[in-house]
Amino acid sequence: MMNFILRGFGSYAPERILTNADLEKIVDTTDEWITTRTGIKERHIAADGETTSSMAFESSKKALADAGIEPAELTHIICGTFTPDSMIPSAACRLQEKLGIKGQMCVDVQAACSGFLYALQSGRGYLCLEPESKVLVVSSETLSRRMNWEDRATCVLFGDASGAAVLTGGEITDGPRVLDVMLAADGSLGDLLTVNGGGSAYSYALGDTVGPEYFVEFQGREVFKHAVRNMTSISEAILKRNGFEKSDVDVLITHQANMRIIDAVGRRFNIPEERVFVNIEKYGNTSAASVPVALDEAVKTGFIKKGDLVLTPTFGGGFTWGAALIQF
Ligand code: ACO
């Protein structure tokens, strides 16, 4: 049985911070509304010239250094994102160029907020085909460029960031092991959370101005309901498939979409608050980047300890959802 080892982690968020107080000056909102409904206090916003691939470059450099792996040793670059620098080339190809390497397989995986787990599972697949692979799994999102900054219901929720990990085969003693990943989707609910503009269903002509469809739009209450339900059910399924009980989970790291969603999932697993990793107050919802950023911080701060079983459920547009079990 092959081991899937996470050799190193890295994360990055832009320097510029936008607080709830700053947002009070942009839209009709309050720190109190945002904090009580979401748990978010501030988010990072990309500077002019910063892009999804440039943030991915920063987090990837850290993950590679943490893993002790040179960029040239990589065989695959898989980037989970729905905000690539451009339609063509992919963010993964842009990242490869920034890393100063050539020849690797490079691809973007688009599964909205579940993008990191979809990318991770793809990486595990490539490793099965080519066991000597060294796979850079990275998620990066520049959501600030897909925000309608006049819509208080959406623009207060999101932020920009990137997280990365290096996945290889190896021995059990070599590092944290990805024991399993489960993924799912329900395209019939796709219209509940969209970024339609730029897609082929919309035609644009030179000179057109962008409309609301260019930005993130969603029905919050529906998203909330499905997020809690599906993150819970897939977490139960992955534990069962691997012979674990809910009580075996040492650390829960859910997609950081909303504090109330995180709390609701934690309660369904009877996981004490102090074993649920939360950083949403600093970053907001960073979509596909949220899980790898949280993993990096939880590892580097000692929140995750050797021997811990870590469960990471995610949920996002599509709808897509998933869960990974990682044995540290
Ligand atoms: N500040 C002040 N008031 C606001 C704001 C704001 N930023 N945003 C909305 N409101 C108002 C609305 O206009 C509405 O006012 P009204 O009653 O006068 O019409 C009122 O607050 C309630 O609005 P709702 O949208 O019904 O608020 P809700 O309680 O559902 O909370 C939230 C909204 C936080 C988005 C919630 O639905 C939620 O957590 N959803 C799930 C998370 C989510 O959707 N994330 C998006 C990405 S998906 C993902 O990452 C999985």
Site to probe by mutation for ligand 1, drawn from 37, 151, 229, 314 as the one with most ligand atoms within 8 Å of Cβ, is 37
pLDDT band at 278 (very low <50, low <70, confident <90, very high): very high
ipTM rounded to 2 decimals: 0.94
Q: Catalytic annotation on 106?
A: no
Assess whether 96 and 195 both reside in one domain: no
Using N-to-C axis directions, what is the helix angle for 290-300 and 115-129, rounded to 10°? 80
What is d(CA 108, CA 281) in angstroms, rounded to the nearest whole number? 28
Q: Catalytic annotation on 279?
A: no
Q: State whether the beta carbon of 316 lies less than 6 angstroms from ligand 1.
A: yes
pLDDT band at 210 (very low <50, low <70, confident <90, very high): confident
Assess whether 35 and 48 both reside in one domain: yes
Q: Return the H-helix or E-strand segment holding 139.
A: strand 134-141
Assess whether 54 and 170 both reside in one domain: yes
Final residue of a structural domain among 159, 175, 191: 175
DSSP 174-202: GS-EEEEEEEEE-GGGGGGEE--TTSTTS
Secondary structure letter of residue 209 according to DSSP: P
Assess whether 260 and 183 both reside in one domain: yes
> Among 76, 226, 255, 258, which one carries the catalytic annotation?
255
Residue 239 in this model has a pLDDT that exceeds 90 = yes
Final residue of a structural domain among 154, 175, 196: 175
What is d(CA 47, CA 56) in angstroms, rounded to the nearest whole number? 14
Q: State whether the beta carbon of 144 lies less than 6 angstroms from ligand 1.
A: no
Assess whether 43 and 186 both reside in one domain: no
What is d(CA 155, CA 285) in angstroms, rounded to the nearest whole number? 10
Assess whether 278 and 221 both reside in one domain: yes
pLDDT band at 149 (very low <50, low <70, confident <90, very high): very high
- pLDDT, one tens digit per residue, over 107-142 is 999 999 999 999 999 999 999 999 999 999 999 999
Query: CA end-to-end span of the chain, whole Å?
Result: 18
| 73-82 core/surface letters (b: 16 or more CB in 10 A; e: else) | ebbbbbbbbb
Give the residue from 303, 315, 120 showing the smallest Cα distance to 235: 315
Q: State whether the beta carbon of 152 lies less than 6 angstroms from ligand 1.
A: yes
Assess whether 196 and 279 both reside in one domain: yes
pLDDT band at 179 (very low <50, low <70, confident <90, very high): very high
What is d(CA 156, CA 22) in angstroms, rounded to the nearest whole number? 10
Give the residue from 244, 226, 228, 224 showing the smallest Cα distance to 236: 244
pLDDT for residue 223:
97
Final residue of a structural domain among 144, 175, 206: 175
Residue type, 239: L
The total number of structural domains that make up the chain: 2
Assess whether 309 and 220 both reside in one domain: yes
pLDDT for residue 181:
98
CATH of the domain at 28: 3.40.47.10
Assess whether 118 and 43 both reside in one domain: yes
What is d(CA 261, CA 237) in angstroms, rounded to the nearest whole number? 19
Residue 204 in this model has a pLDDT that exceeds 90 = no
Assess whether 242 and 292 both reside in one domain: yes
Residue with tokens 């943490």: 66
Q: Which domain holds residue 78?
A: 5-175
Average pLDDT, the chain: 97
Assess whether 21 and 152 both reside in one domain: yes
Assess whether 228 and 158 both reside in one domain: no
